[in-house]
Chains A and B, each alone.
Chain A
Amino acid sequence: MTSNSVSNTPMLDHIKELVGTRDLLWAWTGRNLRARYQQSILGWLWAIVQPGAQAIIFTVVFTFFVRVQTGGTPYILFSYVAIVFWTFFSLSLSDMTGSLVANMNLVTKIYFPRELLPMAAMLARLADLGIALLLLVALMVYYNCFVLSVAWLCLPGILALQILLTTGLGFACAAANVFYRDVQAALALGVQLWFYASPIIYPVTVVPESMRTFYFLNPMTGIIEAYREVLLYGRAPGSYLATSAAISLLVFVVGYHLFKRIEFQISDVI
């Protein structure tokens, strides 16, 4: 028995409902993936080509034109490790933001928990990340850097933090985009700036000591640094990750709350 009225349903019901529609979540994720790589020759290889090409360009620029000190790690490995995770972050954010508007006819015609659309957009990019990681492993093996260590156990935790941050922001942006399409354009700009504000193409050590505390307020700084630390140096991430974790959690709670608040206005406004 379900009732539809002005008052909001409690949180527990949302979660129960989400679990009930996991089939749709998988189907929609699959649809996103299949639709993206249908009628394309490279198909899922694009998931590797895109970050790979970026890493190559940065390697040319920052080893031959401008020298960036990476502490002995080959630059391509140094940058690719960050770029794969950054690509997952930025493309997820962009897809999630557009997910409700792009499926307008579905949203206005059929009921299902609305968070499914942004979540499926993110999950499809997560699958891309999995594919892109194959090249990372290949690079690590090639440069004799592939050493299994206990620190790897931190990886799922770091990834979970990143997903928390991504979905939190993605929910907020998707909701806002329903009302103002400016969000999509502003996001593209914001992500571009954010790219340079994160240690992707340069190491954290180039940031002046006095600015470090401030610099680590960017949750992506801690997350990317943590991936590098674990994957390239086999060390567990330092305390800086706690800052990222706290901020990511906050972003998620606020973002999801925002999304749920406007959920039922979506079909009226979109």
Chain B
Amino acid sequence: MQPLVSLDRVSKEYRLGVSQISLPALVADKLRAAVSRSAENHHRGRNLWALRDVSFELARGQCLALIGSNGAGKTTILKLISRITKPTEGVVTTDGMLTALIELGAGFHPDLTGRENIYLNGAILGLSRKYISRHFDEIVAFSGLEVFIDTPIKRYSSGMAVRLGFSVATCVQPDVLLVDEVLAVGDVSFQQKCLKRIRSLVENGTGILFVSHNLYMVQAVCDRALYLKNGCVKSAGTTKEVIDAYEQSIHEEHTPTKSDSTADGESGHSPVTITKVEILPENGAANSHVLSSAEPAVIKVSYHATVDIGPLNMSLFIRRSDGLTCCMIRTASDGHRLWLHRGSGEFSIYIERLQLITGSYSAHAYLLNDSDSLALTPAGRQSEWFMVKGNSLSYAENSGVYEPIVKWSCE
């Protein structure tokens, strides 16, 4: 079967810095060129390859996620597919009707009412006036903005505008739908509604290209994924495989290097620095990055102090790879205080069971003064990323945050 979208060895080059053209700059450039002949190949502005040799296909009824850090080329891909910009090399082919949720309500005019903007936005998306009229009530009902439909958009909140934009954009069954990080806006119940709509579109054969930094949403919606880094495809496959590769790569980037661990930013001013944070299975091998959710674990914090110092407080956060803080461990709340000796040393925190779901985590430790109000190590120290294996699958939809200890009983 013909793919809906196919990219064949596509590259895109942007030139940086050419927009700062002005007469004085041009004259200065010409003068410089006149003085030294060698300035021929000295271009104003550098070139940047936003995409390098990218090839992939999107089939009917498939939902493909594009993941990667900012500037990896995700939005550039969407722009090439929607023909906003042309590739420098290669061919992008699309088949059928395409709708893009790149910026919801980009065509809204603040002075026009919701009703007028629905028609306008529909026209921008390529829908005829007749089609919109037929589906008008449906669009308004989905947005839940019946009361405000004859109010100018400028009086809407940003969430309301996004809701209207999404409703218009998905009132059709497009062949290809591009979604770029737009669902982050809007409240939770509307997000749920949007996800449901997206799933029903997929079931009816729409091919979706989904860009999001929210890996949990990606896991919930997409069956396949593509991991981009600096414009190149790093990994492609099932969502789970690709997310694992992505996290592995984040993990590698965050692994502190030798020079990193000696320079702790403010160390010059602070009498104490945290030199290392480690999390290990209680009885496991030292280098293991995989912990079991049900087993005990030990967090080891190494420090270096220039004087004997105490009493001190310590706060430790365990954060998931998407930034969610899963728990806080604080001496202040446990009624405990630390006394540190001059020189290097370490202390540890014993956790009976991690109880975290499968995923990638890291621990961040901070030292604070006696009253727990002033950080002595403002930058803190982050542990390496570690994996936790739990009972649930990684990032399965609605898998939650922690695994409670439960007992079942039958009357």
Name A residues whose Cβ lies closer than 8 Å to a Cβ of B: 1-6, 20-21, 23-24, 26-28, 30-31, 34-35, 38-39, 105-112, 180, 264, 267-269
The reply to whether A3 and B91 form a contact with Cβ atoms under 8 Å apart is yes
Contact with B91, one of A5, A24, A107 (Cβ below 8 angstroms): A5
Which one of B80, B87, B126 has the highest number of Cβ atoms from chain A below 10 Å of its Cβ? B126
Partner of A110, one of B14, B100, B128: B100
* Interface size class, chain B: 35 or more
Q: Which residue of B lies closest to A8 (CB)?
A: B86
Contacts of B111 in A (CB 8 A): 34-35, 38-39
* A269–B45 CA distance with the chains assembled, in angstroms: 13
Q: Are B89 and A106 in contact (CB under 8 A)?
A: no
Contact with A106, one of B79, B124, B129 (Cβ below 8 angstroms): B124
In this assembly, does B191 line the interface, its C-beta being within 8 Å of a C-beta of chain A?
Answer: no
- B112 and A1 form a contact (CB under 8 A): no
Q: Determine whether the beta carbon of A180 is less than 8 Å from that of B126.
A: no
What's the Cα separation between A268 and B92 when bound, in Å?
Answer: 17
Complex contact A180–B120 (CB within 8 A): no
Question: What B residues does A106 contact at CB under 8 A?
Answer: 106-107, 124
The answer to whether B129 and A23 touch across the interface, beta carbons within 8 angstroms, is: yes
Other-chain residue from B86, B103, B109 in contact with A5 (beta carbon distance below 8 A): B86
Which of A26, A27, A38, A267 gathers most chain B CB within 10 Å? A27
Residues of B within 8 A of A112 (CB): 124, 126
State whether A35 and B109 are in contact (beta carbons under 8 Å apart), knowing that A4-B94, A24-B124 are contacts in the complex. yes
Contacts of A268 on B, CB cut-off 8 Å? Answer: 14, 85
By Cβ-Cβ distance, the 7 closest A-B pairs, closest first, are: A27-B123, A24-B123, A4-B92, A264-B86, A109-B106, A5-B91, A111-B83
Q: Which of A1, A21, A28 contacts B126 (CB 8 A)?
A: A21
Asked if B119 CB lies within 8 Å of chain A CBs, one says: yes
CB-CB under 8 A from B88, the residues of chain A are 6
Complex CA distance for A193 and B112, rounded to whole angstroms: 36
- Within the assembled complex, what's the spacing in Å between the Cα atoms of A23 and B123? 6
Question: Are B128 and A23 in touch, CB under 8 angstroms?
Answer: yes
Q: How far is the CB of A269 from chain B (nearest CB, A)?
A: 7
B119 touches A27 (CB 8 A): yes
Is B21 an interface position by the 8 A CB rule?
A: yes
Q: Smallest Cβ distance from A268 to chain B, in angstroms?
A: 6
B31: interface (CB < 8 Å)? no
List residues of chain B with CB within 8 A of the CB of A31: 109, 112, 116, 120
Chain A residue nearest to B110 in the complex (CB): A35
23 contacts between A and B (CB under 8 A): A4-B81, A4-B93, A5-B87, A5-B92, A23-B127, A23-B128, A26-B123, A27-B119, A27-B123, A27-B124, A30-B120, A34-B111, A34-B112, A35-B109, A38-B152, A105-B103, A107-B84, A110-B124, A111-B83, A111-B84, A268-B85, A269-B18, A269-B19
Does the CB pair B87–A6 fall under 8 Å? Answer: yes
Residues of the B chain whose Cβ atoms lie less than 8 Å from the Cβ of A110: 82, 84, 100, 102-103, 106-107, 124-125
Answer whether A267 and B84 are a contact pair too, CB < 8 Å, given A4-B92, A38-B111: yes
Closest CB-CB distance, B124 to chain A, in whole Å? 6
Which residues of chain B come closer than 8 Å to A5, judged between CB atoms?
86-87, 90-92
